[in-house]
Structure 1
Amino acid sequence: MKFGASMFFTDYSITPAQMATAMEERGFDTLWAPEHSHIPVSRKTPFVLGGDLPKRYYDVMDPFVTLSVAAAVTRTLRLGTGVCLVAQRDPIQLAKLVASIDQVSNGRFLFGIGNGWNQDEMENHGTVFATRHKLARERIEAMKEIWTKSKAEYHGEFVNFDPVMAWPKPVQKPFPPILVGGAFPYSARRAIRYADGWMPQVTNAKAAPLTDVIPRFRQMAEEAGRDPASLTIIIGAQPPDRGLIERYAALGVEMVYPSLPSEPADKILPMLDQWAALKQRMQA
């Protein structure tokens, strides 16, 4: 079992450099950074986890900036978006961002993606809420073409461009692992269709325990003609519960990680120490 940690980096939280350095010193595997470009004042859609939207969602920095800072001060720590909102980003520019951070980190990037829940936010980007899933899939397919071909082109309903030349190409071949985040079963289907793994989430609407849906995910993969063992499962937003994590390990989950609050170093470092101690006990 591998361990990571997630942080909404803000101008009042621990810095990405401090966080990454502390994680690497403690033997963590991956630092995850989520994103929201902004939060509109209007609210057509409720917070997917229920209750009021936490302040850190309004204040979070761009993940490619924070993870690049983390890459500069570490050597082994992997760096992941958890998740990047692909339906709100231009695919040609995003392909360059992903390849660039994979280059500067020497192949340590994990591309966690999601299709978003905030209708107001994505509509500000010109994204139609009802068709965001197909839009995101086409953008991923288009980026794969850019990462793997010297002259890439893509022709879909939402993404359409004639041959282009774009560098750099990623260090990892054919491209960094793509991990789809979201609730069961819809995000599971997307992960099986065009990704390398799944980052399942429990929401108010989809409250089934992850220990129940993981076997169902593997069955879906097999039925779709994919080797279930080839699809990585990574679970975030978890408590430091050894019993629960052991159950995940028995189900073949590769990594778990907490979503830590956007607090300064003096509050975050003891939390990392708690998780590091749990990690050491489980890996002993």
Structure 2
Amino acid sequence: MDLGVVTFLTDYGITPVELGRAVEERGLGALFLTEHTHIPTSRESPWPGGPELPTRYSHTYDPFVALAAVAATTERIVLGTAVSLIAQHDPIVLAKAVASLDRIAGGRFELGIGPGWNAEEMAHHGVDPGRRTARMLEHVEAMRVIWTEDEAEYHGRFVDFSPIWSWPKPTRVPPVLIGGGGPTVLDRVLSHGDGWIPLRVPVSALDEFGERVAELRRRAAEAGRDPLPVTLYGASPKPEALASYAAAGVDRVLFELTDPGPGGTDATLRELDGLAALV
């Protein structure tokens, strides 16, 4: 089982280049970044994590820009998003950004995606919250066409364009990891994904989770596909928990770095030192 980290990379914390180098130097296998384009001040949408939204949500780097800097200064680690809210992006523009990043990274990029939870944020981008998942999946389809065809064309409900030229193409079609844990998420993983990235599965729920992983593998085999990898966001760093994740069929875990606040670079490096001991 591979070990990596995921973080809200902020303008007041460790820099992208320093973080990427530190992750690679410590033998960890992956660095994934979160995404919010902005946070509306209205705070009408409840945060799933509790009553108060942490400061880091409104201070994150653009993950594609930050990961490009990391890609240019590392050689080995997998780079990804966990997750990008792609329904809020223009798919033609995002397809070029992802392809450019993947080429800079030498084929190390993985696109983790999710529909999001903040309805006001979506509305600012002209996205109907009730249609966000359908739009997300259509954006995946449109971007794959752009990545793989010299004259790309797509006609859908949310995305519609006549034949276009768009280069660079990625080194290979970037794996798309579908985020979420709802009752229909496996349907989306199988129809549009190359892997699953569920969020914070407690050890107490791993038996049921393992059954879902087995279902995913079974359904993929029935569809004639290779096993679809599972990346767990927000894993516990305890050795006994890691053994349980592996037994449940998890292929990679991402440890979420804590937010030490302004000037907390040294604290982040110490946290990485602790995680390196698990490698």
Q: TM-score range by the shorter chain?
A: over 0.9
CA distance in 1, matches of 2:94, 2:203: 32
User: Structure 1 residues 87 and 207, CA, compared in 2 at 3 Å: closer, same or farther?
Assistant: farther
Return the offset for 1:221. Answer: 5.3
**TM-score normalised by length of structure 2:** 0.93
Is contact 2:214–2:249 with CA below 8 Å preserved after alignment? Answer: no
| Aligned residue among 178, 181, 188 for 2:179 | 181
CA distance in 1, matches of 2:196, 2:126: 27
Aligned residues: 275
**TM-score normalised by length of structure 1:** 0.91
1:139 is aligned to 2:136: no
Alignment correspondent of 1:219: 215
Alignment correspondent of 2:251: 254
CA distance in 1, matches of 2:213, 2:203: 15
Return the offset for 1:213. Answer: 2.1
1:50 is aligned to 2:50: yes
Return the offset for 1:23. Answer: 0.9
Is contact 2:29–2:77 with CA below 8 Å preserved after alignment? Answer: yes
Which is worse superposed, 123-132 or 210-219? 210-219
Which is worse superposed, 190-199 or 45-54? 45-54
CA distance in 2, matches of 1:60, 1:77: 21
CA distance in 2, matches of 1:208, 1:185: 19
4+ residue runs of structure 1 moved beyond 4 angstroms? none
Alignment correspondent of 2:60: 60
1:232 is aligned to 2:229: yes
Is contact 1:196–1:230 with CA below 8 Å preserved after alignment? Answer: no
Alignment correspondent of 1:282: none
User: Structure 1 residues 148 and 272, CA, compared in 2 at 3 Å: closer, same or farther?
Assistant: same
For the aligned residues, what is the CA RMSD?
Answer: 1.9
Which is worse superposed, 127-136 or 180-189? 180-189
User: Structure 1 residues 140 and 132, CA, compared in 2 at 3 Å: closer, same or farther?
Assistant: same
Is contact 1:222–1:228 with CA below 8 Å preserved after alignment? Answer: no
Return the offset for 1:7. Answer: 1.7
User: Structure 1 residues 227 and 251, CA, compared in 2 at 3 Å: closer, same or farther?
Assistant: farther
CA distance in 2, matches of 1:100, 1:223: 33
Which is worse superposed, 121-130 or 68-77? 68-77
CA distance in 1, matches of 2:163, 2:131: 25
Q: Structure 2 regions of 5+ residues with no counterpart?
A: none
Cα deviations by residue, 1:146-167 (Å, 9 ceiling, x for unpaired): 0000011111111111111101
Is contact 1:18–1:265 with CA below 8 Å preserved after alignment? Answer: no
Is contact 2:200–2:232 with CA below 8 Å preserved after alignment? Answer: no
Identity %: 43
Is contact 2:36–2:57 with CA below 8 Å preserved after alignment? Answer: yes
Return the offset for 1:236. Answer: 1.4
Is contact 2:99–2:169 with CA below 8 Å preserved after alignment? Answer: yes
Cα deviations by residue, 1:124-161 (Å, 9 ceiling, x for unpaired): 00000001111111110000000000011111111111
Alignment correspondent of 1:17: 17
Matches within 5 A, 1:138-177: 138-172=138-172, 175-177=173-175
Cα deviations by residue, 1:215-250 (Å, 9 ceiling, x for unpaired): 224325534733675211001112211111111112
User: Structure 1 residues 188 and 110, CA, compared in 2 at 3 Å: closer, same or farther?
Assistant: same
